[in-house]
Chains A and B, each alone.
Chain A
Amino acid sequence: MKKIWDAFLANPYPMWLSAIALALGIGPSGLRFLWTLKPAEYDPTIAVLTATLIALIWTANYAYLVVKRSEFEFDRTAERELISKVVDEYVGLSRRRYDNGPHALATLGLEQLGGDSQIRDALREMGGSAGWRW
């Protein structure tokens, strides 16, 4: 249940749809039921349809978030693989004494990693792989 609630907080639009559905469906019929307090006069059709609609919206939203999460994890994995590749390349160059330092960094095409934080991660790993930290 907490998962579904977290999913809602992450993507609030279905919550608005649910609120509207609730207001249009359960709201009036429920209020009439409470007002009259006569179960015989209560027509559950709208309430059931509304509840079904809300359940569908929640499910769709949850599925959407699951898909988004798996896409994000896929991207993260691809990013990690690219970082590892660049780090291996640098460490290989450095260990074989072909090249090292900024001169070697310039040959790696680090901008392919896509952003400052990814490049810093890669550099940290390069230093870490060779026993140096910054």
Chain B
Amino acid sequence: MRSARWEGVRAGAGDDPWAGQEGDVRDIDLFAFFRYVRENRVDFSKQSVAEVAAAVREQGGARRS
């Protein structure tokens, strides 16, 4: 099990496209997610992936299994 710090270091190195936040979008339809990001001009330096994921989920953007 990797520590949060290790995840942070790896994310900082640019290896992980989600910067350790992939758990927040596991149940999200990523097409809806990135459409929301574009339409709302989301800035991830101000908003977290979890916040955006919650907004997308509210709009019915949950992933169909």
A interface list, Cβ under 8 A from B: 90, 94-95, 97, 100-106, 109-111, 113-116, 119-120, 123, 126-127, 130-132, 134
Q: Is the CB of A132 within 8 A of B10?
A: yes
Beyond A101-B16, A102-B49, A111-B31: 11 further Cβ-contacts under 8 Å? A94-B15, A95-B14, A97-B14, A100-B11, A103-B43, A105-B18, A106-B37, A109-B38, A115-B31, A132-B10, A132-B15
The A/B interface has a contact count, at CB < 8 Å, of: 74
Contacts of A131 in B (CB 8 A): 15
B interface list, Cβ under 8 A from A: 10-11, 14-19, 21-22, 29-32, 34-35, 37-38, 42-45, 49, 63
With contact pairs A101-B16, A123-B17, A130-B15 given, residues A116 and B49 touching in the complex (Cβ less than 8 Å): no
Contacts of B29 in A (CB 8 A): 116
- For the complex, give the distance between the alpha carbons of A131 and B10 in Å: 10
Contacts of B21 in A (CB 8 A): 102
Of chain A, the residue at the smallest CB distance from B21 is: A102
Distance (whole angstroms) from the CB of B53 to the closest CB of chain A: 10
Of chain B, the residue at the smallest CB distance from A114 is: B31
Distance (whole angstroms) from the CB of B9 to the closest CB of chain A: 12
- For the complex, give the distance between the alpha carbons of A114 and B38 in Å: 14
A–B Cβ pairs within 8 angstroms, 7 of them: A97-B14, A101-B44, A103-B45, A105-B17, A106-B38, A109-B38, A134-B16
